[in-house]
A and B are shown apart, each in its own frame.
Chain A
């Protein structure tokens, strides 16, 4: 009897131990599968619904979801009222905030006063192109409609189609999970700047996936005939990379066909708006030259259990210095923070100087026209202001340039500031000619004062926007969720924020 009891106990202990081992082996095997496998999300086409990727890439998805932690609105027009003057007559003078997490791409796009308050598919100030960088639905719709067809019509046309914020399918192939360029305009830009697509390495893809959106672009008016043979015009997103990626190269490119984004409301200058040439300016920096990619710092590798994956909570590497900077550098976190802060201060100082001088130039030009200055007299001033503001905008519009390429950023700011000063010197002469000495430009020290000078009726814009949000926008969301393009649950986790009260 004793023998049997001993066998029984030993047997049970052995079974318990082996069960534990089998469970452990099972876990490790599934981790290995996840590391080495690529499961198609859909058999064909593009899966724009980010939550559909969660089952296969749970860790990446969960970390991506954390981009919603970056929800704070920093009203940059309030912080730098000069901006309202610099962009007078253009959408950015109405509303311009610091960037937020990828999860908010569409909320910000719909909430900004720049996109206005359409009441139907064919109204509103903005074209379809304004969706381009905001959603994997863009790639899906482009595949469905055709690229030129996509770029035709008003922004409001696709409100119920473009509903998932920047996510999986913007950078990944829906079948293999591999990195891919979902936007044809970047491919064209790479070719136009002399790159061979087939020579692009995986490491370069880890930057180019970001460059699809974090780049300078303009809308190229492109006539075409649609499927029914009707003549139409598309506003196709195009990167000005043909002559090179520097501020001066792009300026040459734009000047070669006299392109302008808008005419300045105060100074009548045909202006260029730099969007966010983040990739371009990064390529002049030391980290790029050392062959780093955007993902190396913004999506550092991390580990959960035995699985290593890249952190998809794309954010400032300063929030994760240990996993980003310190994988290569040996200094302390505190030292890194202080170095970056120092760099930011340097840029801020030159940035404010330049903005003040540029805003002064615009207001002085306005005065000159009021006093009767002729276009011929103003030619040189006009050219100088255009060039100055372009270079200033290029240097800072991508926000991170002060770190990505500090030398280039400061160089451009110095050039832009010098040009703004040249314009003001010239204008001082012109004003003197019309009997005005020591002209003091109007006060633009607050958002209210600056927007008044720029002719922005903020209250009206906000009122219209709120009405749009409760009517048309709400219909878009309902329609998209009813037709299965959007998981409405997702929106519930996103705080609705804008630069104006909700």
Chain B
């Protein structure tokens, strides 16, 4: 067999192995689940269990799943751009263990959540916007001069205590996983 032929077969084998391994990786990483809106996809990474458990015990669990607050809902380009960016940041942080015990939302993430607060609670927020000059001395056009809903509504929806250290037993998660 010539060297050329050997290389050709080797390349074929490698490609076959890589494809097989790729498929296995898709299965192992539950990659398909990220195409869904299911909250369980978010606890593929166990660091999210605290956040899942605190959400699951909140009133928002009756109305909204993770992505309905954390991703843009009506703009598909924004939605998938955000999803890609978050996905990259989260998976590298989790893989390389670079995340802290108390995780904070990014500025862009906060923007999205704020927009979704207003989207669902539109009647309420419109009233606030209309009367904002009566109780806020800000010239800013945005609601409350850059303040976010949860600057006051601090327990919505994850509760005040939600860091990995502060939520010892995520019974909600265990209880939930038992059902599936």
Contact = CB atoms under 8 A, between A and B. Distances in A.
Classify the interface of chain B: helix, strand, loop or mixed: helix
Nearest to A300: B165
A23 to B, nearest CB: 10
Contacts of B28: 22, 25-26
Nearest to B16: A11
A19 B95 CA distance: 13
A305 B97 contact: yes
Which of under 10, 10 to 19, 20 to 34, or 35 or more describes the interface residues of B? Answer: 20 to 34
Which of under 10, 10 to 19, 20 to 34, or 35 or more describes the interface residues of A? Answer: 20 to 34
Contacts of A35: 46, 49
A437 B25 CA distance: 93
Contacts of A15: 14, 17-18, 21
B38 interface: no
B90 interface: no
A21 B17 contact: no
Nearest to B17: A15
Contacts, number: 75
Nearest to A13: B18
B94 A28 contact: yes
Nearest to A33: B46
Given A18-B21, A22-B28, A303-B101, A7 B168 contact: no
A36 interface: yes
A14 B18 contact: yes
A24 interface: yes
B21 to A, nearest CB: 5
B17 A11 contact: yes
B11 interface: yes
A306 B28 CA distance: 18
Contacts of A36: 46, 173-174, 177
Interface stretch (B2-10, B80-88, B121-129, B143-151): B2-10
A28 B173 CA distance: 16
Given A28-B45, A327-B166, A22 B25 contact: yes
Interface string A274-314: 00000000000000000000000000010101101010000
Q: Which 4 A-B pairs rank lowest in CB-CB distance, beginning with the nearest?
A: A11-B14, A7-B11, A4-B7, A32-B46
Given A21-B95, A22-B28, 16 more contacts: A4-B4, A4-B8, A4-B11, A5-B11, A8-B10, A8-B11, A11-B18, A14-B18, A15-B17, A22-B21, A22-B25, A28-B46, A28-B94, A35-B49, A36-B174, A308-B168
23 contacts: A1-B4, A1-B7, A4-B4, A4-B11, A7-B15, A8-B11, A11-B11, A15-B14, A15-B21, A18-B22, A21-B95, A22-B24, A22-B28, A25-B29, A32-B46, A35-B46, A35-B49, A301-B168, A303-B101, A306-B47, A306-B97, A310-B168, A327-B165
